[in-house]
Amino acid sequence: MQAQNITFIGLTRASLSVALALKKGLPDLNRIGHDPDDKLTKQAVEHGVFNSGEQHVDKALAKADILIVDMNAAATEKLLPLMSQMLQEHVVITHLSPQAVALQKSFDKQLPERFFVNAAPVQSMATFGLASADPIESADADLFRDSLYCLMPSSTVDEAAVDTVRAIGKVIGGSPFFIDPSEYDVYINALELLPRLSQIALFESLHSQTAWSDMRRLAGNRFASGTANFSDQGEEIASAVFANKDSTLHWINQHINALMEIKGWIEKTDERTVADLINTRSFERDIWLQTRKDNHWNETAAPEIGKEGVKDLFMGSLLGRRGRG
């Protein structure tokens, strides 16, 4: 049996971009989309992201040979009982959401015999910058090209299922990077959540002042750009904060400590130390950006999957099996 259908549940910039990359790299694979927002599903089909859309999630699940989910952990957990009923036994499942530990626990508990491999693509530096709020307009087949594709398989998952998900990463242009789910969650708290909380704190520190009524008239692009990443995301950010509370508090404390150290130098009128810090960290940031752009890291690479190998993983015998027994 060959893989014919790859189903996407939850249409975001990330999942739509993966769909576009698969359309380009594996055009023979039938792409099916579903989102709770029927309008978004229809628009994605009209724009050619999917071959077809399904209004009913159960029908979308039933057609899947490979399933890619991009919903938050709570929404995914609610969907798991239906997955258990509707999915074919051979389906390889992966997820693009950052709450790795919570998702693995949910799948282990409710779908222990399924081929689930948690994964997370890392955005390409070439696509950095403010994106359109419309997920279809902001979708890009190269969103994850020349970057990393994080793989977080459990110790019990079938190796061929891991290879199938790794092949997805290959098609979208990402280099495989195996990482422990708990480690991934802690790092993402620092790299994704802390900047948002810092922006909220910045806005709050000024908005709460009586001078804000005048200050807001002078606020320009730098302030707007520095406070852009929490608009209409209250529930999402709050959920992420408390999903790993200890990690969140740890990174907040590190941020506060750095600010307090800078504050101490300013109080001492130590202009030289402040300037040296800025110059040094600016240079180190430039090095990081260049390394990130090149996507060259000092580590052992995973075995390469050739072009034909990628096609074989999707079209080959893996999907002919029924369960692990």
CATH superfamily of 184-267: 6-phosphogluconate dehydrogenase C-terminal like domain (1.10.3660.10)
Whole-prediction pTM value?
A: 0.85
Instruction: Give the pLDDT score at 324.
Output: 43
| CA dist., res. 115 & res. 95, Å (int) | 12
Q: Is 241 helix (H, G, I), strand (E, B) or coil?
A: helix
Instruction: Give the pLDDT score at 299.
Output: 58
How wide is the angle at C-alpha 125 spanned by C-alphas 192 and 135, nearest 5°?
A: 70
Q: What is the mean pLDDT of each run of 10 residues along the chain (325 residues)?
A: 83 96 93 95 96 94 95 91 93 89 92 91 88 87 94 91 93 94 93 93 94 94 85 82 92 96 95 95 93 77 53 50 42
CATH of domain 5-179+301-320: 3.40.50.720
Q: Is 33 helix (H, G, I), strand (E, B) or coil?
A: strand
**Strand-pair partners of 81:** none
Instruction: Give the pLDDT score at 310.
Output: 54
Contact 203, 156 (CB under 8 A): no
Give the residue extent of every domain in the chain: 5-179+301-320, 184-267
